[in-house]
Amino acid sequence: MMAINSRASILVVAIACLTACHQKVTPPETVFPGEHWVESKPDQVGLDKERLKEFSTKTGGSGCVTRYGHLVHSWGHPGTAIDPGSVVKVIFSHLVQKSVKDGELPSLDATAVQHEPALAALNASLGHKDARITWRHFLNQTACYGQTEEPGTAFDYNDFTMVLAWQIFANKVYPGAFESATSRVLDPMLTKPLGCEDQPRYYANEGGAWTGRLFISPRDLCRFGLLYMMNGRWRDQQIIAANTAHMAVTTPLPLDLPRTKAQSTEMLPGQITMGKGANQEWHSGSYSFLWWINGIDENGKRFWPDAPPDTFGGFGYGGRNALVVIPSLGLVVSWVKTEFPITEMSGEGHVTVNGLLKVLVDSVRN
């Protein structure tokens, strides 16, 4: 009888444990930072302090971790604005899509030649193909500018293209000098609506050229990430449409879209680059409107296998700088100025990032 009672007790406990394990934990309501972030301890939002310390130690540089809009962990100099490299591309993607919402561009499928007529004169032997570049092509690295392919027919991670796109946008879609692009474009479309603390700003390089690169701090990057975690909503204002925000981070390029053959052709006179050249990356089925997402590659593997499927982010220098958003866990994280090797995100970069994200995900307790 004693044995039966013991078995029954064990069964009751086991059932209770299984029930508890499968109970859905309701996450707290997300808060939005005001003049400053709401600061909370990790355990107040279900994170493990020691695992977060491990995460920031492995990452290095400067950065911060937020959950449900609470700033819970930071290191280095999270309030210092620096150039995060290609992380700025996701901000550019946002600005273009917001300009469609605001009516400054008719659609993402409008051609860039409407604002830059000189494109129509390029590459006569290729049927003046550059006259057919659209803003959608710019935002998916399929413009094939300076390459022989027709726009939309190949993937070309190309920093010449990004400068062309930004300069048309900041100088002609929103007419004015590059020197005033911060006050004319960035401030009203991003900085002021999100209440950024650390004055994001465009800057000219040492040669005086304006390429679309900007200074922004890790904690202001997290504000931008929070906007996309909330599907384009900031408090009670829909900054961009929810379906647009969702599309931006869930629409990977198809795996059958090839990489450009890297055969150079005519560009506009004096064309400069944001950093490197053309044909730098493979999209790996994980590139969506200048964001990297956790897609599935040609071998059926996730881009970041140790992170949730809904993870997305912007990255510079193959993960040295990053903004990462994991909506299913309520996490927005950024880091900059790390010392990882400079590489491609589709190469060793996504392996490095996956290792960091594993530690971050392991910090989640509930």
Q: Do residues 307 and 294 lie in contact, with contact meaning Cβ atoms separated by under 8 Å?
A: yes
Provide the residue count of the chain: 366
Can you give the pTM of this predicted structure?
0.91
Domain count of the fold of the chain: 1
Residue 261 domain boundaries: 38-362
CATH number of the domain bearing residue 82: 3.40.710.10
Closest to 249 (Cα-Cα) out of 326, 307, 306, 301: 326
Of the CA atoms within 13 Å of residue 270, those in its CB half-sphere come to 5
Residue type, 193: P
Q: Is residue 12 part of a domain?
A: no
Q: Is residue 254 part of a domain?
A: yes
Q: Is residue 294 part of a domain?
A: yes
pLDDT, tens digit only, all 366 positions of the chain: 434 344 444 343 443 444 444 344 466 789 999 999 999 999 999 999 999 999 999 999 999 999 999 999 999 999 999 999 999 999 999 999 999 999 999 999 999 999 999 999 999 999 999 999 999 999 999 999 999 999 999 999 999 999 999 999 999 999 999 999 999 999 999 999 999 999 999 999 988 999 999 999 999 999 999 999 999 999 999 999 999 999 999 999 999 999 999 999 999 999 999 988 888 898 999 999 999 999 999 999 999 999 999 999 999 999 999 999 999 999 999 999 999 999 999 999 999 999 999 999 999 998
Q: Is residue 5 part of a domain?
A: no
DSSP state of 211: E
Q: Is residue 25 part of a domain?
A: no
Q: Is residue 118 part of a domain?
A: yes
